[in-house]
Chain A
C-alpha cells in the first residue's frame, strides 16, 4: 500500500459533532406545519367581520421560512439525542416569532414595538400569561383569540403535537419529548413514543372541550351573565395549558363565582401529571393514582397555601365568608399551577400573603403536566435527598436508595434534579438582579420584592407578578432590555433550563 493511500485513510476532522443541518431541517418542517395554525384566527376574523390578512400574511411568511429552511437543508437527516436539544431550543424561538407576527402585522398600537410583540408571543407559547398590553379589551376579537390559541398550542408542546402527527420524527422522538415535557422523567403510557404523545394529546383536547362546554353552558343557562360563547372557548384554551391569558382586562374577576370555582377545578386537573390523569380517567385506575406521592404532596401544598391565604384574608378583613375562601383557593391554585389567572387584585393583599404567593411560584404543579416552575416531584426528591444526607452524616456506611412511589430513583436522576434546582435558583437570582439593575438604569420604580416576583414569575411561567406588573397590571413599563431578559427567562423556564444550557457548553458541539 502506498503512503498516499494510507494517509488518505485519516479523514479530515469533523469540526462539529452536531448535525446542525439535520436539526435545522426538522425545525423547518415543524415551523412549516406550525404556520398552519394561523388559519384558525383567520377564520375567527372572517366570522366576526374582521380582516384575516394579518394572520394569512403571517402564516405565509412563516410557511415560506419553514419551507425554505427545510429545502435548504435537505439530505440525510439523523436526529439523535444531541440534535434534539438544538431542535427544541430553536423551535420555541421560531414559534414565539410566529405568534408575534400577526401582532405586528395587524398594526395594533399596543404591540407595534417588535420587542413587545415578541414578548407577548413568547408569553403565549410558553403559557406564561404575562402581558405588555394595558388594555387587552381594545384588541380585535381575532387577535385576542390568536393570543389564547398560542397558549393552547404551547401548553402541550409543539413537539408532542409533532410526534403525534409526523411519523418521521419517531426516530429520536423520546429525546425530543423528554427535553420538552416538564419533569425529570417521562412516564410512557405505551411502548411507542408516538402513541404516548397521541394519548396525551387526546386527553388535552378532551379536557379543553369539556371546560369550554361547561362554561358555554353557564352562559346559555344564565348562571354567569358575563360569560358568553367566545369567552368560554377563549378561557378553556388558556386554562388547560395553565396559561393565564384572559380576554378581559380584569381577568377572571369579571366572572361569577360558579365560573371561578369551575376554573379552580380545571386548573387543578391541568396541574396533574397527564399520564396519571390518563390512567385515572380513561383506564379508571383511580385508586392506584390516588396513591401517587407527587399527587398527594401537590394537593397538600395547595391546601396549605389556600389555608394561609384564607386565614390572612379573614384576619385582615379583606374579604369575608365564601369570597375569602374562593379568592384564597383561586389564587393559590392559579399561582401554584403557574396559570396566572386572577380572581381579585391580590396586589393589595398584606405582605405575608404576597410572600406566600411568591413562594408558591417556586412550587409548580406535577411533572408531566402543562405547568411550569420547579414542580412538586423535584421538591419531593430534593427533600428525600436531604433527609438521606442527614442520615448518612450520622451513619456513614448506610446505603439508602431514594424511593418515589416505592420505586428506587436512580442516582443520575437525583443529580439531575439537584442540578436543575441549583440552575433554577441561580437563573432566578441573575434574572431578578438584572431586572433591578436595568430598572435603576432607566429610573423605573421597581421594589426588591417586585423584581423578585417578576423574575420568579417569568422563569416559572406564571404570568402576573407584583406591583405594576401585578394581577391587573402590565409588563409594559419595563424597558426593552428588561423585556428581552424576561423573554429569555420564559424560554429557559419552559424548556426547563438544562436542554438550553447544554447548548452553551463546549462539549455539546465538539468531540475533542
Chain B
C-alpha cells in the first residue's frame, strides 16, 4: 500500500517504524532535521514541505496514494491536509490525529470530510480507564465496541490457589473467557486443557469485560473495585481521563494549579470535585486525604512535576499510580520511582493509527510484547476454508480464536461451536503468522 505520513514528530516516527517494512511510505514535514534521521534509519522517501499545501501534496503524488495519515501536532493543519487530499484524490483514505475532543464530536456528527479521526486524548483516556477497570493487568485492550477484552497478567505467588498448578480443563475459570497464551521465559504456549498456570508466568486472556475483572480478582485477590481516583492536572488529557472515569461511575478528584483551568474543568465536569492547588503541596495532600485515593493519575504537562508528585503521592500512601508521559525516556524514570503504569499518548495514538494500514477487513489490531504477538479482528470471508468447521477441528497453528462477533453480539466459543461466514473473529496470533491467518480467513 502507498501511504503518506504528514508529520515526522514522535507519532509520525512511531508510525513509520511500524509500517515501513510492509508498505511504501512517504513522509512529509516542514522540518528537515526531523526527516533526516527517518530517512537514514528506514527505507522511506521524504518530502520537505507543508503537508497542508495543495502543491506539496500534488507534487508528492497524492493521487496514487491509498492512505494519508496526518499526524502533526497541530489539529487544524492535519484537518486541512486531509481535506485537501480528499479533494485532490477522492479514493485516498484519510486519517487525522487530533488533540481536541471537539473535532472528534464534529466528525461523529458527519460534518468533517475526513475518513477517520484518532484523538490522542481519548485514546489515552481509554487506555487509562481500561487499566483501572482491571488494576492487576499489565496491559488491556478492547475489541468489538468494548464487548471483548484482552488482558495480560503477570502471575505471582499471591494469585488464587484455584488458579495455580491446576490443569486448565479442571481449573474453575471465569465464564466467557479463554487463556490465549502462557508466556514462560522465552517459551510461548498456546495452551490446551492439560497445561497449567505457574507463578512467574505471563498470561494473555481474552474474554468479556466482566470475565476480565473476575480474572483480575483471581490473579490478585483482595483488589477491590476502584471508586476513588485523583487526577493531577486538568489539561486536555486529564480532563478526557476524568470524563471517561466519571462515565463509568467512578468518583474523581482533580487537582489543578491554574485557577482558570480549574474553573473551566469544574464548569465542564459536574461530577468531579476540582481543587485549585498544586499536587506538590504536602499540607494540601494531607488535608484532603489524597493518600486515601485508590488510584492517582499524573497528567500535568511536565514530566518532572509528574515524577515529583507521583513520588509524593506514594509517600502519602496512594497504592496505585499511573503517569502520562511526554518524553519517551521518562518511562524508565517513572518505573524506577515506583509508578505502576506509564502511558505514552503518542505511542497509543500511533498504535491506533497503524491499525488503518492493515487488511481492510481487519477492524482492529493490537500488539503485545513489543510486536511478538498481534490480535486481529477479521471478518470471515464466505470462501474461507474454515467456514463450517468446529473450532476444535481447525488446523490453525500458532493462532487462537478468542471470541467471535455474530450479528453484533460477542460469543466466546466452545470447542464444538462452528464458524460461519461473516463472523468477526478476534484472533490472537504470532506476528509472523498474520499474513497466513488473514489469507486463511
Contacts and interface: CB of A to CB of B under 8 A. Distances in A.
Interface string B369-380: 000000000000
B419 interface: no
Contact of A399 (B270, B276, B284, B288): B276
A398 B288 CA distance: 10
Interface stretch (B101-109, B165-173, B260-268): B260-268
A101 B266 CA distance: 56
A398 B263 contact: no
A398 B277 CA distance: 8
Contacts of B263: 399, 401
Interface in B211-265: 256, 259, 262-263
A228 B399 CA distance: 90
A403 B270 contact: yes
Nearest to B275: A397
A397 B284 contact: yes
A406 B270 contact: yes
B433 interface: no
A395 B274 CA distance: 10
A432 B288 CA distance: 47
A381 to B, nearest CB: 16
A448 interface: no
A406 B271 CA distance: 11
A494 to B, nearest CB: 34
A403 to B, nearest CB: 6
Interface in A234-265: none
Interface size class of A (residues with CB under 8 A): under 10
A4 interface: no
**Residue among A401, A403, A406 having the largest count of chain B Cβ atoms under 10 Å:** A401
Contacts of A408: 267
A481 to B, nearest CB: 51
A397 B277 contact: yes
B438 to A, nearest CB: 48
B270 A398 contact: no
A493 B273 CA distance: 38
A85 to B, nearest CB: 31
A400 interface: yes
Contacts of B273: 395, 398, 400
A397 B266 contact: no
A395 B270 contact: no
Contacts of A395: 273, 275, 288
B275 A401 contact: no
Contacts of B270: 403, 406
Contacts of B275: 395, 397-399
A190 to B, nearest CB: 25
A15 B263 CA distance: 42
B267 A401 contact: yes
B277 to A, nearest CB: 4
**Residue among A395, A397, A398, A401 having the largest count of chain B Cβ atoms under 10 Å:** A397
A398 B274 contact: yes
Contacts of B284: 397
Contacts of A398: 273-276
A478 to B, nearest CB: 50
Contacts of A397: 275-277, 284, 288
A397 B275 CA distance: 5
Contacts of B259: 399
Nearest to B288: A395
B265 to A, nearest CB: 8
A441 B115 CA distance: 85
Contacts of A400: 266, 273-274
A399 B256 CA distance: 10
Contacts of A403: 270
Interface string B276-302: 110000001000100000000000000
Please give me the 7 A-B residue pairs with the lowest Cβ-Cβ distance, nearest first. A397-B277, A397-B275, A399-B274, A399-B262, A399-B266, A408-B267, A399-B276
8 contacts: A395-B273, A397-B276, A397-B288, A399-B259, A399-B274, A399-B276, A400-B266, A400-B273
Interface of A: 395, 397-401, 403, 406, 408
Given A395-B273, A399-B263, 6 more contacts: A395-B288, A397-B275, A399-B259, A399-B262, A399-B276, A401-B263
